[in-house]
Each structure stands twice: as structure tokens, then as C-alpha cells.
Amino acid sequence: MILLLLLSLSADFEQQIAPILIEHCLPCHNGSNAQGSLRLSTHARASKAIVPGSPKKSTLFTSVESGTMPPAGRLSRDQRELIRSWIADGAKWPDGVTLEGLKASQAEHDSVARLHDRIVAALKKDDFKPYKFTNPAFEMVPIPEGDFLMGTPDRKDESPQHKVHISPFWMGKFEVTWDEYRLFMFSKDDGVDAVTRPTRPYVEMSFGMGIEGYPAISMTQHAANKYAEWLSAHTGQFYRLPTEAEWEYACRAGTTAAPDHPDDYAWYLANSNGKYQKAGTKKPNAWGLYDMLGNVMEWTLDQYEPYRSAPAADPWIRPSKPYPIAVRGGSWMDPAGAIRCGARTPSDPSWKQQDPQMPKSIWYETDAQGLGFRLVRPLKIPSAEGMFKYWNNGVEKDP
Amino acid sequence: MEDRRRFLKSTGIALAAGALLKGQNSNAIKVGLVGCGGRGTGAAAQALKADDYAALTALADISQDRIDQCIDQISKTQAAKVKVDPKNQFLGLDAYQKLIDSGVDVVLLATPPGFRPVHLRACIDANKHVFCEKPIAVDAPGVRHVLETAKMAKQKNLSLVAGFCWRYSNYIVETFDQIHGGALGDLVAYYATYYTSPVKPMPPASDRPAGMSDVEWQIKNWYNFLWVCGDSIVEQAVHSADKIAWAMHDQPAVSCVGVGGRQIPAEGGNIYDHFEVNYVYPNNFRAFLGCRQIDNCWNENADYILGSKGACTIGRGPMPHITGQTEWTFTGTKNDMYQHEHDVLFASIRQNKPIADGERMATSTLLAMMGRMAAYTGQEITWEQALNSQERIFPDKLDWNGSLAVPAMPRPGQTKFL
């Protein structure tokens, strides 16, 4: 008990530090061929790189702070700060804990690897054209490769504007509807066993606003990720949530001009009549996407973080903490000012405040009745490990 | 929140004047939790958040796993306030009394409801302030016991906050303020729905470990047994009964008739999975309460309140709305009602202004319970009959290792009202 208290006062090893080490360090610093003969899998081995109480004397911290490690890219400021504070507070590592034991179960990785192989094997030289799928019914629209200016001048959370390059992908023509999402929630005999499914919702999740043809709402980002994994297994094609940059690029659709009056293309506070509306009943944007703005706001893959000014190519800030995650597009509840391609909404713990239990559900945001998502399908298929990262945010549990 | 912060600045003064925390030399409020499941853990986290000097010092449950999980979970965000010495972790059916005797100031009661009357009495006997989850009993003797306890709490100036959470929800409070302010004209009828999936379905009998006693098995699967759960209408749809009572200014119903039964195999349990009850109130006001816990059906948790000049709907769409002579929708920001329950409780302790939810939580529970009695027996049941029912559903004596037969489910027309 005492140990637990000490740990929790600083960074929590199992919840916060171990996941960083597992993801960013262990791929090279583990096993008998560990780089620099440094292994980070157990306390004894890792001690070589850690001086408890002195982050600046610990190569674990100095190398990630300077950015020399990990080679694939510098850790986020939060992740670096977690490591610093953990070492500063004595680098407590619970007795007997080895990091292998904390990895996501090998079975999950294996299952994603098999799915990856199936997707690659099924790959046809698809024309980069619009297409439809029938069960579940959805349509995808090709979004061409290109560059755009991400952000909005003079708005604090949307500045600085910066240049972003985006690789080609298909995007859902409509927001994912209950018709599609409920197949994932309720159908157990569809040949997809390996993907975890939502717990049965206790209350009726459309809250009387309509099901057939209406957008699905009130799911967590974790649930949306699992839907993407389920759909990928179901179709043999790789689907995932869009990054924040992909979403904004697709929303702007090659234009910089102010769009028409929001009444023409969006359901929002002034015209929604207090509820969401059927998908695709307003005008599409220039690239044929419906309801990008309004109706339901949409999950992206990114942690909600300040923008940097440097140009970027296909940027993605993978979440390292449960809140806030970036949500886009505004919803039927929002005023016109929030119905903009540049506008960002941070996810918030209050979206689960109706859940009386602790720990809270990892599947439902019962109080976010204007929150949904749509999926993308990148033209270039990632590695199996890449797929795993897209589908597992690692921060699905609320603190 | 603003109010609370402002208040906490003057905590020292309030304490000096306050008589509620007798013999205290510090600002600390020691909190004990009885029932460390998901709801109890949530309640404890909210209690700790409600007051800068609240500390969790004691836990009681039937399972050490639950206690450990509760500590781990709350420590993630409020480690500095978790001060549960191993000697203050109590296990077993008498753990609640040991917890009360461990020197706590506030007790959170979050076990299954069958235990509540005895637990609550012990708290008030020992001069503890209480947060008491709903419902508060599984039978009428339990309700009467709690009514007595509520009086004792009042006499002792102890705060007793009930987990009928909608009473602490700002947007539902505002909705009922509108209704009581006449936005619907004279009230005519209330239709409340509580159609959901099963809450905690019975596991297969093969999951029962060899040698586990009936009592332990039934408590661990408490939702499925009448004696400890009170049945689905009392355990869950009681929230809707509470709102009906609220609309009626908490005056008793005159009588009710009801139907109910079980469609899905009970797998060894003995609760119904559906009820529909029709309540009569003075002035020909009628209230209808429907509840069901079956998968793959139309799920809905809503309230439709009809008046002579308008209608109010709660639970269809995120915001309650009123149509008719008055057009109204809640436009503010919803509060966290679970947190607010504890903010109010702890502020009441600091300010020596006790909250007395006791009587109301007993009568709202009885309102749901009389619906159950009507459905079980097939008879019309009056409020007086329900209140004076002699049927004891919760056992007088419970032995952790004991056997406990599961009575057959009631059959309307054959089951007698007692």
C-alpha cells in the first residue's frame, strides 16, 4: 500500500512510464541483441540508464530530452516530462514488474498481423475512385494527395497556420450511421471474432433521436478505433480514423474561401431543431463529403495539442493520455462559430459524467450526444505494427 | 464549484462554529466506504473531491479484491487523500460495523440494497453523516425501519444525502421547477419508461466455485436475488418512481395495479425482468411506470409528463423540453450530479446545516415497491397496505457460510399479499 501511494504521487509507472518504454524503447532495448547492450525490460537492467532523483544524470532522460532517442522521432513534451518527473521522484519501479508482462497480449498483435497479411494479400490495384460497400452500407470518396495550410490565423488554438502535406486516402462520404455501427455492437456471428466489442449499452444510445439513417453517437475514441478494426476484418480493407490534419484537409477540400451560409451544408444549433439529423441531407463539400461540418462532431486520431509552425507531412500525435483528444467539425448543438473546418474541440471527462461507476466505461461517452466519427482508408497500407497503433490508442482507461 | 471554493476559504470559521464534527482538532473529514464496487468507488472519489480535507480512511466489503481495486482506482487521481491503513480494511458481513467503529466521520453506503436499513441505522446510532445509495430497502419492514432512522438522523442533526441522483442534477431540478411553477398547467398524467438491457445477468451455474455457500454465491450475484436486490423495479426503475414522486410534491400515491413477470430464463435467480404499473393519485392524476431488462428490445429511459396546458419530455434528446402554452428547453450546462451530491453533503457538514433526504428516499423506494407488490400478487395495493406490509424479504440472520433457499418467483393470483 505504501509503495502504491508513493508511486501515484509522481508519475505512475505501470500506467504512464511503462507504456512509453514498451512502445518507444523496448523495440531496440530488449533481448540479447539489445542496442548499446542496454536493456530496459527489468528494473535491474534499466538501472544502467537511470540515476534515481537525478534526471540530468540519467541517460534515459537526457537522450529522450535531446531527441537522440528514440531514433524514430522525439517523444512528446508530456512524455518527456513524465519520464523526468518519474526519475526526479526516485524512479520507483515496482518489485518484480518486468515490461514483457505488461505488453499488450501477444495474441492481439498476432491477430492484427494475420489481418494485415490478409489485407495485403487481397490488395488489388484499385482505381483511386469512389466506391460503395453494401453490408454494412457505406460509400468512400477519394481524397487526392496535396498540400494545405492547416489552422486559422488569429485563433489561439488554431495557430500558427502551417503547411501540411497529405498522402492520398479515401474518406467516408457520410458519418458512420447507427445502421453500420449497430452491426459492430450487436452482431456476434459475422465471422469477426478477434476484435473486442463494446459492452452492451445499458441505456438506449440514440436517446430517441433516431436510428435508421442517422449518425451513431456517444462512442469513445477507443470504440471508434475498434469499429475501424472490426470493419477492416470484415471487409479485408484497412480502415482507421482520420488524423486531425487529414480531417481538416478533407473538410477544406482545396478551398480557402469562406463557404456558403452554414444553413446550406450543416445541421447546427440554429437549424437542427434540438437533435441530430439523417446523414447526407445537406449539401456536400467540394470533394463530395457530407456533414463534415455540423450534425455530429467527429473523432480524429490525434491528441489535442498546440500547433507547431514547422511544415509537416502526414502528421499524427498519437495520444499519450486519455484527455484531451482532438474532435472536429462541430455538431447539431453548436453555434455557427464552431461550424468551421479549422475549429477544434478537445474531448473532456465530462462527456462521461452520467456514468456512475468507477472505473468508467471505455466504450461510451453517454453525455456527448453530438459526437460521432467517419473513417478513412489510406491508399498506402501500413505495417502490422502500424495498424495495431492506429487501432489501439493505449489510453482508453480514464484515470 | 465557485460556491464551494468560496466556502472552503471560510472553512476555519465554519468549523469553529460547527458542532457537527465533535471532538475534532483538525479540518480533516474521515470517510469510510461500505461496498467497494464500481458505484461505491465512484462515490468515494466524488466524496474526496468534494472537500479539500476529506480523506478516505476505511473500506468495507466482502472481497479483498474489491478493496484493492477501489484503492488502486482512486489512488490514480487522488492518492494523497487515500489513507486506508490495512487495519482499516474490513471484510465480511459485519465489516460495516467495524468500519463505523474505526473513527470515520462520514459513511458512504453502497452495498446492494438489502443490507441498507441495518447499515444506515448503525451509522446514525454512531452519529455518522451518511451518503446513502438508492434504493434504501427491499421490503416494507425495511422501509419503516429507515423512516425511523431518518427521524433519528434529523434529531441528531446528522446529514443524510440519498443517491437519488436526479434530485441533484441541475437540469432536472430546473425542469421540475418549471413544472411546479405551472408551465404545464394542472398535472394530468406521468408516463415513465425504464427499458434497458439486463444489469448484471446471472452467470452459468457452472461458474460457481465448489464449496461456495449459497449466501456468498447470492451476494456475489446480488442483482438476481429478490432478498438482496429488491427486484428490478425497486433497484433501478426506482429512479423513475422518484421523479413521479417529485412531480407529485412527494405526497403518497393512493393505490396502484401492475403486471410483471419473467420472459428470459432466470438461471437460478428470482427477479422479474419486466413490470408495468399504473398509479392513482389524488385529483385523478395517473402515473404509469414501465420497466424491462431484456436484450434486443426497444430501450428507453424517459419521462413524459402531461398537464392541462402542455407536455414535458425528459430523456428523448439530451435536453428536457416543454411544449404547449409554455415553450421551454434547458439551455445551460449540465452539472455532474454525482459530484454535486457530495459537494452538498460536505458543505452541509462544514456549515452545520444538515441535509435530510431520509424520509423522501424511503417513500420513493416504497412507491416502486408497491408497484412490485401489485405485480407479484395481481391485486390492487394501496399506499397504506404497502407501508404496513408484514412481508420480510431480507433474512433476519445471515451466515456467510450458510445455505439459503431461493423462493420460486411470485405468481399473480396465487402469491398472497402479506
Taking only the tens place, the pLDDT of each residue in A167-198 is: 999 999 999 999 999 999 987 666 676 788 88
A194 plus A212 within the same structural domain: yes
What average pLDDT score do residues B374-400 get?
97
CB contact at 8 A, A363 and A221? no
A111 plus A219 within the same structural domain: yes
A310 plus A163 within the same structural domain: yes
Given an 8 Å threshold on Cβ–Cβ distance, is A204 in contact with B75? no
CB contact at 8 A, A58 and A51? yes
Residue of B nearest to A15 (CA): B76
Chain segment A74-133, per-residue pLDDT in tens:
888 888 999 999 999 888 887 767 776 445 567 788 889 999 999 999 888 768 999 999
The pLDDT value recorded for residue A37 is 67
CATH number at residue A270: 3.90.1580.10
Given an 8 Å threshold on Cβ–Cβ distance, is B299 in contact with A203? yes
Work out the minimum CA distance from A14 to partner chain B, whole angstroms: 11
The pLDDT value recorded for residue A7 is 37
Nearest to A97 by CA among A29, A160, A45, A158: A45
Residue B14: is its pLDDT beyond 60? no
B408 interfacial to chain A (CB closer than 8 Å): no
A350 vs B37, B296, B336: nearest CB: B336
Work out the minimum CA distance from B16 to partner chain A, whole angstroms: 31
- DSSP secondary structure, B19-86, as one string: -SSTT--SS-EEEEEE--SHHHHHHHHHHHHH-TTEEEEEEEES-HHHHHHHHHHHHHHHGGGB---G
A129 plus A141 within the same structural domain: yes
Q: Which residues of B touch A399 (CB under 8 A)?
A: 76-77
Domain-embedded: residue A273: yes
A178 plus A238 within the same structural domain: yes
Q: Which residues of B touch A187 (CB under 8 A)?
A: none
Residue B6: is its pLDDT beyond 70? no
Residue B2: is its pLDDT beyond 50? no
Distances in Å between the Cα of A287 and the Cα atoms of A138, B287, B403 are 16, 53, 69
CB contact at 8 A, B37 and A356? no
- Residue pointed to by grid coordinates 522525439: A74
Confidence of residue A205 (pLDDT cuts 50, 70, 90): confident
**Total structural domains in chain A?**
2
Domain-embedded: residue A164: yes
How far apart (Å, rounded) are the C-alpha atoms in residues A338 and A331?
8
CB contact at 8 A, A287 and A143? yes
Q: Which residues of B touch A8 (CB under 8 A)?
A: 75-76, 79
Q: Which residues of B touch A15 (CB under 8 A)?
A: 76
Helix or strand or coil: residue A138? Answer: strand
Residue A42: is its pLDDT beyond 90? no
Domain-embedded: residue A36: yes
Q: Which residues contact B181 (CB under 8 A, 6 or more apart)?
A: none
What residues make up the domain containing A190?
Answer: 104-391
Q: Which residues of B touch A275 (CB under 8 A)?
A: 317
Domain-embedded: residue A9: yes
How far apart (Å, rounded) are the C-alpha atoms in residues B114 and B129?
20
Domain-embedded: residue A396: no
The lowest-confidence range among A114-118, A197-201, A289-293, B183-187 is A197-201
| The one-letter amino acid at A207 | F
Residue ending a domain, among A101, A119, A135, is A101
Chain segment A381-393, per-residue pLDDT in tens:
999 999 999 999 9
Residue of A nearest to B86 (CA): A1
A23 plus A132 within the same structural domain: no
Domain-embedded: residue A370: yes
Chain A residues within 8 angstroms (CB to CB) of chain B = 1, 4-5, 8-9, 12, 15, 186, 200-204, 207-209, 274-275, 333, 350, 353, 356-359, 367, 369-370, 399
Q: What is the mean pLDDT of chain B?
A: 93
What average pLDDT score do residues B245-267 get?
97
A149 plus A283 within the same structural domain: yes
The pLDDT value recorded for residue A131 is 95
**ipTM value for the complex:** 0.79
B317 vs A201, A275, A353: nearest CB: A275
A32 plus A134 within the same structural domain: no
Domain-embedded: residue A397: no
What average pLDDT score do residues B30-39 get?
97
- Residue pointed to by grid coordinates 392524476: B285
What average pLDDT score do residues A314-339 get?
95
Work out the minimum CA distance from B208 to partner chain A, whole angstroms: 23
Task: Check: pTM over 0.90? Answer yes or no.
Answer: no
A339 plus A200 within the same structural domain: yes
CB contact at 8 A, B70 and B41? yes
Q: How many other CB atoms are there within 10 angstroms of residue B288's CB atom?
A: 18
Residue ending a domain, among A101, A128, A162, is A101
The strand pairing partners of A378, in sequence order, are A169
The pLDDT value recorded for residue A96 is 66
- Contacts A–B by Cβ distance under 8 A: 84
Residue ending a domain, among A101, A117, A133, is A101
Residue of B nearest to A6 (CA): B79
- DSSP secondary structure, A301-363, as one string: EEE-----SS-EES-----SSSS-EEEES--TTS-GGG-STT-EEE--GGGGTT--SSSPPSS
The strand pairing partners of A215, in sequence order, are A177
Sign of CA dihedral A13, A17, A19, A21: negative
In chain B, which among 151-190 make CB contacts under 8 A with chain A?
Answer: 165
A89 plus A109 within the same structural domain: no
B315 vs A1, A207, A353: nearest CB: A207
Q: Which residues of A touch B37 (CB under 8 A)?
A: 357
When mean pLDDT is compared over A63-77, A175-189, A228-242, the highest value belongs to A228-242
Domain-embedded: residue A6: yes
Confidence of residue A208 (pLDDT cuts 50, 70, 90): confident
Q: Which residues of A touch B72 (CB under 8 A)?
A: 4
Residue B108: is its pLDDT beyond 90? yes
Task: Provide the grid cell at B301.
Answer: 429511459
How far apart (Å, rounded) are the C-alpha atoms in residues B225 and B269?
5
A69 plus A88 within the same structural domain: yes
Q: Which residues of B touch A201 (CB under 8 A)?
A: 197, 299
A203 vs B38, B71, B196: nearest CB: B196
Given an 8 Å threshold on Cβ–Cβ distance, is B75 in contact with A4? yes
A191 plus A79 within the same structural domain: no
| Environment class of B127 (CB within 10 Å of its CB; exposed 0-12, middle 13-18, buried 19+) | middle
Helix residue ranges, H only, B51-196: 64-78, 95-100, 116-125, 140-155, 170-180
